[in-house]
Amino acid sequence: MQRFTVVGLGVVLVASIGLGAWVSTQVESSALGLVTQATSLYVDSIIEPHMQSLAQGQAVSGDDKRAIEAAVQASAFGQQVVAFKIWTVDGQVVFGTHPNTIGQRFPPSTELKRAVAGETVASIRPLTSDSDESPSERLSSQDMLELYRPIMQTGTQRVIAVAEFHELPDAVEADIRGSQRQVWFVIAAFAAGILLVLLGSIRHIKGTLSSQAHQLAEHMHALKTLHDLNQDLKGTLDARAQAAAAAAVELSEKTVRRVGEDLHDGPAQDVGFALLRLDQIHAYFDDQNGHEKRKSDAISATHLQDVLVIKDTLQSAMAGIRAIALDLALPHVGDLNVHDALVCVTQSHACSTGTQVALVDAWQTGDVPQAIKVTLCRIVREALTNGYRHGQGINQRLYITGDAHTIQVEVADDGPGFDPSQIDPSHAHLGIVGMRDRTQQLGGLFQVTSKPGHGTTVLVRFGLDEPYNCAALGAMTPPAAL
């Protein structure tokens, strides 16, 4: 605002001064123009008729000189004249108020040259500034109105002489100074009005901007406070959500283990007991002592077939129940560190599938929270199972890497692989969806990399600093060096 005020005031002042100087110059030019017109009229009507003898190269007669003197002395214009001369076009004085200059030649001045060219010249300046014609004409340093008027040959535009007048400029200067004072007063008043309006506008704008700045500062403070509250609330909600997810993982693990134990101790025991009784009935029918009699008994033969069908069905159900119970229940990893827990998972997978899993553990920082450990075990077992089912378990391997703040697990194989972009999200594999969901519940990163003919790699990364969010820890990279 200060810079704008200074610039605005400077522009108004400079414009006002420039305008005043220009108008003052125009006023002076107009006043001199009026004087020039009056002098031209005087010369054309009184002096020019008596100078026509110069057109034929003759001297001015005595009668013409006396007539000019009488006319000059008798007129009001002549009474204001301080000095008066008539020049020929070649710079000779043929008539003047100072007799000692008559007949002499002087170097023509700039004004005289302009007058010989047909221009009427008028200016206000000291008489002594350019008066080299005669020392007697150097009257003083007072300003004089100097006029040069060309004298024409009658009926033509030919210049035959030049009339030079030096007048006291009091009346003209008074008119010029009065008009200039009026001009400067009007311009000063106008500039003052503009300045007052400008300053008023600046003051109003400054007040408006100050008010708006104050309101903006209040809004910004309120927004910052709200942002801080939102950040605190977001952090609290994230921590609570991940704590709830961790608790849900542990609860889900307990529930799954209990379901597995219940399947094993409940339905599995009942089915086993039923199979035991069917084995006894089967043995009765297979008894060789009554084989011929039972063979001829059609009803007994039908019952034997039914028993065999029931036995096969129950055996299949028993295998399924045991598989479900085994799949639901992880090996007991509650008291193990993450390395031993993953070793237990890989060994369980190797025993059940008859394959080998290479394990490279480059993470020696320590243990991880229980929820992350259980989730890693679940994901590793699911990835190994998928690699066995869909990739024939070819060269399966497990890498564990990380640092004090993160842990990363990679499960890879050299199976046939697949194109992840060709998987329909609405019909995605439940195994991949489950692994991704388990990872995201605890704020981890999940990535599947595969290509037909180049195997499959599953990468999982977790942050170890609560809340367990590693989204800002950088992108996951396979430990190729391992």
CATH number at residue 93: 3.30.450.20
Last-in-domain residue among 116, 146, 179: 179
Does 381 reside within a domain?
yes
Once rounded to an integer, what is the mean pLDDT over residues 447-461?
90
At 231 the pLDDT is: 82
In a domain, 17, yes or no: no
Task: Kindly state whether residue 385 falls inside one of the protein's structural domains.
Answer: yes
Taking 90 as the threshold, does the pLDDT of residue 120 lie above it?
Answer: no
Show Cβ contacts of residue 442 under 8 Å, excluding neighbours closer than 6 positions. Answer: 242, 245, 246, 249, 371, 372, 375, 462, 468
Which residue intervals of 43-163 are DSSP H helices? 62-74, 76-80, 110-116
Looking at 148, 164, 179, the residue that finishes a domain is 179
The SS3 of residue 412 is strand
The two three-digit tokens of residue 418, written as one number = 């697949």
Cβ count near 7 (within 10 Å): 10
The CATH number assigned to the domain holding 392 equals 3.30.565.10
The answer to whether position 109 is within a domain reads yes
Determine, yes or no, domain membership for 240: no
One-character DSSP codes across 314-336: HHHHHHHHHHHHHHHSPP--TTS
Is position 382 within any domain? yes
Model pLDDT for residues 287-341, shown as the tens digit of each residue: 645 555 555 565 566 666 667 777 777 777 776 666 666 666 565 666 788 888 8
- pTM > 0.85: no
Number of domains in the chain: 2
End-to-end, the C-alpha distance of the chain in Å comes to 66
Q: Does residue 238 lie within any of the structural domains?
A: no
Q: Please give the average per-residue pLDDT across 400-413, as a whole number.
A: 89
Question: What's the domain range around 116?
Answer: 24-179
Of the residues 120, 152, 179, which one is the last residue of a structural domain? 179
Residue 166's pLDDT is 78
Q: What is the mean pLDDT of residues 215-240?
A: 84
Q: How confident is the model at residue 398 (pLDDT cuts 50, 70, 90)?
A: very high
Is 366 within the bounds of a domain? Answer: yes
